Amino acid sequence: MSVIVDKQTRLCVSGITGREGSFHTLNNRAYGTQVVSGVTPGKGGLDLEGIPVFNTFREAVAASDANTAMVFVPPAFAADSILEAADAGIETIIAITEGIPAHDELRVYAQLRRAGGARLIGPNCPGVLSPGKANVGIIPAAFFREGNVGVVSRSGTLTYQVGHELAQRGLGNSSIVGIGGDPVPGSSFVDILELFQDDPETELIVIAGEIGGRAEEDAAEFIAGHVTKPVVAYIAGFTAPPGKTMGHAGAIVSGSQGTAAAKAAALEAHGVRVGRTPTEVADLVTEIAAK
């Protein structure tokens, strides 16, 4: 099995006719993802190398039976695109767009949670890859191989680096989930940890976090009460000077709260082994997997 995307994923891409949207749409299809339709208002009736384009998500879903959306539209229009996808019955929405205003993110989060039925990954995320099954987003799939290690990360580049380190040691992944580093993510570490805990194919979990916020502390508390599988973590920012902020909008440190040391302490207190570098994380995973 895998989580979020798999061979049953039927993808509709919002912003399919844009430069980035078309490039990654075709990359996802080349990997084997079922890309069944796209949406660009005003360009309905066109196609991208055989992929039909519609004016609205409702039209796209009705014609192609899409169950997953990837959002590649400009920040000003992303919130409406996400909500339109959910209103059309899309079950999984993966928002790649970065720079969405925080108040738009909050509005989307509140409406989706209130309505139920749709899972949002992102925004400002690299997407989701289930090796050998489907790739939705911008994750360079060639770095990864099939296996039993689930990875969830706030950082796109850390996702790639950790996965590459694991692959060099002969380890593969059930799924790789980039949740993004914005202040109001659609899905949290806790949401994805719950999926990995319930996934029989995932036998070990890697968390890649960073300084700022309390997402990792929340994950530690959830792991203590609900996760029986081994978890290894990495926190970006161990060497950051006091008061230093990172590029992600959610990486805000207040006093000692949100520091890498505080996050590592919270995780280690609940049995999570924390590597100080991605290489050390891969070494820890290799050690655990060999037992």
Rounded to whole angstroms, the Cα distance separating 232 from 285 reads: 7
Q: What is the pLDDT of residue 254?
A: 47
Is 275 a residue whose pLDDT tops 50?
yes
Could you tell me the two tokens for 38?
């796209």
Using DSSP's 3-state secondary structure scheme, residue 210 falls into: strand
Q: What is the pLDDT of residue 255?
A: 46
Of residues 161 and 96, more confidently modeled: 96
Give per-residue pLDDT as tens, 240-265: 555 555 555 555 444 445 788 899 99
Q: What angle do CA 193, 194, 197 make, to 5 degrees?
A: 85
Architecture of the 144-289 domain: 3-Layer(aba) Sandwich (3.40)
Identify the weakest region by mean pLDDT among 16-20, 150-154, 243-247, 287-291.
Answer: 243-247
- 10-121 and 144-289 share one CATH topology? yes
Rounded to whole angstroms, the Cα distance separating 15 from 22 reads: 8
The pTM score is: 0.93
Q: Do 177 and 202 touch, CB atoms closer than 8 A?
A: no
Respond yes or no: is residue 248 known to be catalytic: yes
Give per-residue pLDDT as tens, 137-187: 999 998 899 999 999 999 888 888 888 899 999 999 999 999 998 989 999
Architecture of the 10-121 domain: 3-Layer(aba) Sandwich (3.40)
Rounded to whole angstroms, the Cα distance separating 104 from 126 reads: 19
Q: In the chain, what are the domain boundaries?
A: 10-121, 144-289
First to last CA, the chain: 22
Of the residues 103, 226, 248, 270, which is catalytic? 248
Judging by beta carbons within 10 Å of its beta carbon (0-12, 13-18, 19+), is residue 89 exposed, middle or buried? middle
Query: For residue 239, how many other CB atoms are within 10 A of its CB?
Result: 8
